[in-house]
Amino acid sequence: MSRIFMEDKKISVVIRKFYDSLHYLYLLDKLKPVEYIYILEYPSGDMITRKRVRNKLKLELPFMLQENIGTGRNLIEKIEVLSIEEWNCDANYGKYPIYPISSTENERE
């Protein structure tokens, strides 16, 4: 498993992005159910690693808070960690295909 991604610092950045987005959606009065989908693509990435990352993220997201309070609107409905291939093969997400960016394209920007 990728030790680099599983570091708490990297997980914290992903969690912070969720809360930033949540505040943004709330301020814009967008009260739709929130599904957090994180695309994780790296060499030798596999389904087991993505599940571990998802479980670690789930511990930090407000699922337990929702369960304990149990009233009102949910802050989050689900979390998924997908590869690019899983995204593109999904019946819903695949309508908006994504593609990897080569490292040479990154260097030009």
Would you state the structure tokens that stand for residue 100, as one six-digit string? 């990897």
Helices (H), the chain: 3-6, 8-27, 47-60, 63-69, 84-89, 103-108
Choose among 107, 106, 105, 101: nearest CA to 41.
101
Per residue in 69-88, pLDDT tens? Answer: 876 778 889 999 999 999 99
pTM score: 0.76
Would you state the structure tokens that stand for residue 78, as one six-digit string? 């689900």
Per residue in 11-63, pLDDT tens? Answer: 889 899 998 988 888 889 888 888 999 998 887 788 998 999 999 999 999 88
The strand pairing partners of 79, in sequence order, are 36
